[in-house]
């Protein structure tokens, strides 16, 4: 299996030439003091080294060995503990954390690129740090000063880990049906009792404590509240004490991510502390969820990048068949890169990966501005975060699986064999479409709440901004500008149709949401493809500029028409879906 190489030139290009990171950071004093392009470049280079030399080497063995549950203890694969200690020592868990509590204070638009490298190197390992960073984010945003001072420094340092405990067997994604209870104590704490399932990183041997953020219900209420529940109690000086009634019932045996511990967690009168206001737990949790959903989209993106590298290298090495029209070298067999179908798959993966990376950085930029900006800049960024988060999660992870499967196809029969490594990518990334809210739920959120919920205001604002930028691009043809403009108009027209009919056809949004999100995704990927090609003009590396132009041309010719297909599906409405009698299934 080829060693992973981070696309550092691509990443620097996005920060400097496409999204003008220095100008973004200059708008906010906290970021202006923390980072500049030289600092960002140094962080990317070090993250590349860590991903290649520390994380990627444990990927294959971690998959082969998996997590074990022995004597009520969760044991990670060999090498995970040593790698995690070094990863945490480098400050990577707290990269974007609050400097007041020991975080590095880096912007999210830089953090998403570091996340991509880590996910490319090893999906399973990277989840541990990602969940910890997300838990710290929610605590920092909503917990009391006392809780922040007690827990955040050790979370940012990686000495402790974080986990998000939401769903239960009878509840699934409908969190209204959770049964975990929180009983108030006289000292202001709560006793948490109940069970949670599918808890990523719920327990492991990487850290000395695991800090759980648990959704539970207070007595005599159907509202949901959020509680901080440590595995081991922590005294006022930050020292670990006795066990806290938090135990593992079992671990799941999964299709992929075998190095990631997915646990059934039991809480038996565990001492917990309220985070945020009573009955407002989902509001607090969604602070974390916005970041985690972007992170899971980046899991798909990281898979796509790793899959492309592996498949492109293999296609240039594997000799089989002769090019159509005869071998260009006169050989009796050619590398499979000469074949049209192989090129189609590689170009598709490359186009989706490049545009997906642009979406991830732009979304990270909006998270930075929503957190650190002021006035209308802050408000607008918050609107864009709401609009784009479900798209980033769903479209990036859907296309990440597509990319892994296409890359596997490039390998042919060898792609089905474990030794090549590509089949692990397929297995590991499949979950990204399911957890953190299935992609169907993301699509319903995007169409039902983020698009029609404000009568298309945010979608229209975003589309108009894209169109305005598009018209200013000097190196994009009028034909391509028209093709994109017409489809933005068609998207808004379809959205108006949904908005007009959503009350009279209550199943319309649910039945059409995935196609609408996919139409939007393929459209903005087309926009990003031509934007990247335009910004690459004059790049110091002419080959870099050439591939950006070639990928954009491929996208406009071959992938942009997918927008038309998905909009046609939405325009057909829900009758063919909903009028089928239930007994016929």
Which residues are catalytic, by number?
436
Question: Which stretches within 201-339 are classed as H helix?
Answer: 281-317
Quote the CA–CA distance of 193 and 181 in Å, as a whole number: 5
Quote the CA–CA distance of 187 and 182 in Å, as a whole number: 14
Percent helix / strand / coil, the chain, rounded to 5: 60, 10, 25
Quote the CA–CA distance of 477 and 471 in Å, as a whole number: 10
83 with 54: CB under 8 angstroms? yes
- 3 by Cβ neighbours in 10 Å (0-12 / 13-18 / 19+) ranks as exposed
275 with 283: CB under 8 angstroms? no
Q: Does the CA dihedral 271-274-278-279 come out positive or negative?
A: negative
Quote the CA–CA distance of 197 and 170 in Å, as a whole number: 10
Strand partners, 73: 70
Q: Single out the residue of 9, 59, 135 nearest to residue 547, CA to CA.
A: 9
84 with 158: CB under 8 angstroms? yes
For tokens 């990631």, what's the residue?
260
- 478 by Cβ neighbours in 10 Å (0-12 / 13-18 / 19+) ranks as exposed
Quote the CA–CA distance of 163 and 129 in Å, as a whole number: 10
- HEC profile of 176-206: HHCCCEEEECCCCCEEEEEEEEEEECCCCCC
DSSP helix/strand/coil, 505: coil
165 with 195: CB under 8 angstroms? no
Phi then psi for residue 165, to 5 deg, are -110, 100
Other Cβ atoms closer than 10 A to 427: 16
Quote the CA–CA distance of 314 and 336 in Å, as a whole number: 9
Residues, the chain, total?
Answer: 585
CB burial of 281-302 (b: ≥16 within 10 Å; e: otherwise) equals bbebbebbbbbbbbbbbbbbbb
Residue 207 CA from chain centroid, whole number: 24
For tokens 């509001």, what's the residue?
283
Strand partners, 165: 214
CB burial of 199-211 (b: ≥16 within 10 Å; e: otherwise) equals bbbbbbebbebbb
What's the number of CA atoms in the CB half-sphere (13 Å) around residue 533?
26
């Amino acid at each position: 299996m080829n060693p992973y190489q981070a696309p550092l030139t691509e990443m620097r290009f996005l920060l400097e030439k496409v999204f003008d990171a220095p100008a973004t950071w200059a708008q906010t004093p906290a970021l202006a003091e923390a980072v500049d392009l030289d600092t960002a470049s140094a962080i990317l280079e070090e993250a590349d080294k860590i991903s290649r030399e520390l994380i990627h080497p444990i990927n294959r063995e971690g998959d082969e060995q998996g997590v074990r549950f022995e004597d009520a203890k969760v044991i990670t694969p060999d090498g995970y503990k040593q790698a995690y200690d070094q990863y945490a020592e480098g400050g990577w868990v707290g990269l974007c954390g609050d400097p007041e509590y020991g975080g590095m204070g880096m912007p999210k638009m830089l953090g998403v690129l570091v996340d991509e490298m880590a996910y490319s190197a090893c999906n399973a390992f990277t989840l541990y740090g990602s969940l910890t960073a997300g838990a710290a984010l929610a605590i920092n945003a909503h917990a009391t000063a006392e809780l922040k001072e007690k827990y955040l420094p050790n979370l940012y340092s990686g000495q402790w880990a974080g986990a998000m405990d939401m769903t239960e067997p009878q509840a699934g994604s409908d969190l209204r049906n959770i049964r975990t209870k929180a009983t108030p104590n006289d000292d202001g704490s709560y006793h948490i009792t109940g069970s949670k399932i599918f808890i990523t990183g719920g327990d492991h041997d990487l850290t000395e404590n695991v800090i759980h953020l648990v959704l539970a219900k207070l007595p005599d209420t159907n509202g949901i509240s959020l509680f901080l529940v440590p595995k081991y109690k922590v005294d006022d000086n930050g020292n670990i004490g006795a066990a806290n009634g938090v135990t593992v019932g079992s671990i799941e045996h999964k299709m992929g991510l075998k190095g990631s511990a997915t646990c059934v967690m039991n809480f038996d009168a565990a001492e917990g502390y309220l985070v945020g206001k009573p009955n407002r737990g989902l509001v607090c949790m969604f602070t974390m969820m916005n970041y985690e959903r972007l992170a899971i989209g980046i899991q798909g993106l990281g898979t796509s990048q790793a899959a492309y590298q592996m498949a492109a290298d293999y296609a240039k090495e594997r000799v089989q068949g002769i090019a159509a029209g005869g071998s260009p070298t006169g050989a009796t067999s050619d590398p499979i890169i000469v074949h049209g179908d192989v090129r189609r798959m590689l170009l598709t993966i490359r186009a989706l990966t490049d545009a997906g990376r642009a979406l991830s950085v732009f979304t990270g930029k909006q998270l930075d501005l929503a957190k650190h900006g002021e006035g209308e800049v802050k408000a607008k960024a918050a609107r864009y975060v709401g609009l784009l988060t479900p798209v980033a999660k769903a479209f990036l992870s859907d296309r990440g699986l597509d990319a892994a499967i296409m890359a596997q196809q490039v390998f042919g029969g060898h792609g089905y064999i474990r030794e090549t490594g590509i089949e692990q990518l397929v297995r590991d990334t499949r979950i990204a479409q399911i957890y953190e809210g299935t992609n169907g739920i993301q699509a319903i959120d995007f169409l039902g709440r983020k698009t029609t919920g404000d009568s298309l205001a945010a979608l229209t604002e975003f589309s108009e901004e894209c169109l305005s930028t598009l018209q200013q691009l000097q190196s994009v043809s009028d034909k391509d500008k028209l093709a994109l403009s017409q489809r933005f108009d068609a998207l808004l027209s379809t959205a108006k149709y949904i908005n007009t009919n959503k009350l009279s056809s209550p199943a319309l949004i649910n039945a059409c949401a995935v196609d609408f999100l996919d139409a939007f995704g393929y459209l903005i990927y087309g926009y990003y493809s031509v934007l990247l090609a335009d910004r690459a003009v004059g790049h110091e590396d002419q080959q870099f500029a050439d591939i950006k132009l070639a990928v954009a041309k491929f996208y406009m010719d071959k992938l942009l028409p997918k927008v038309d297909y998905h909009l046609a599906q939405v325009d057909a409405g829900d009758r063919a879906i909903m009028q089928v009698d239930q007994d016929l299934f």
